[in-house]
Amino acid sequence: MRKVFLSALLFAGVFFAATAQENSKWLGGTISLSGQSNGQTQTSTTIMPEFGINTGGPWAFGGRVGFSTDKTVTGGDTRRVNTTSLVPFARYTFGEVAGFSVFGQGELPLNFYGGKHYDGSSMEGSTSIGFRVRPGINYSFTERFGFNMYMPSLLSFVNNSSGGSTYRIGVNDGYTIQNYLLNTSIGFIYMF
């Protein structure tokens, strides 16, 4: 019980120290739409709102909550996979020049999966939990508005409830600069 109380006290201290600063918090997020057709049609939609708090130094903490749906149509049959995500993160900013800053972000993604098979039957629900490290860039247009650009993970580990784990280092497995840059996501933020 004492550990829980001390943890809550530490969190409250960090939160109140961060909120005392001007523009120490931000709200934002990303929206992603993609599609391709090569004998079958695949579409993907993701909405990922985000909240964060700067601690006054190089560290920031926050989280993202999101929903995505991936739809595959083959012939007249449709398969849909829905994912709900909770992604707490810790961010370390390496420096700032002319409104630009580069950061490294550690994330603990928790995903819940469901959906429909091609025959219309419901998929068995599953979950995954993981760890990933990704770089990013932040740019402030004004004192209140800016954007975050998230690069793909450099390191990731995912454990699935349906069995199996995956471990990946981003520079292996067919790594190219072009694919890396094209798989970034950009989200606008409001700082307050």
Q: Which pLDDT score is estimated for 21?
A: 54
Which structural domain, as residue segments, surrounds residue 59?
A: 2-191
Q: Which pLDDT score is estimated for 95?
A: 87
**CATH number of the CATH domain containing 119:** 2.40.160.20
What distance, in Å, lies between the first and last C-alpha atoms of the chain? 34
How many domains does the structure of the chain reveal? 1
Q: Which pLDDT score is estimated for 176?
A: 67
Q: Which pLDDT score is estimated for 140?
A: 93
pTM as predicted:
0.78
Please list the pLDDT of the chain residue by residue as tens digits (192 residues).
454 444 444 554 554 444 445 568 999 999 888 888 888 899 999 999 999 999 989 999 999 999 999 999 988 889 999 999 999 999 999 988 988 999 999 999 999 999 999 888 999 899 999 999 999 999 999 999 999 999 888 888 999 887 778 877 765 555 667 666 777 888 999 999
CA 98 – CA 36 distance, rounded (Å): 38
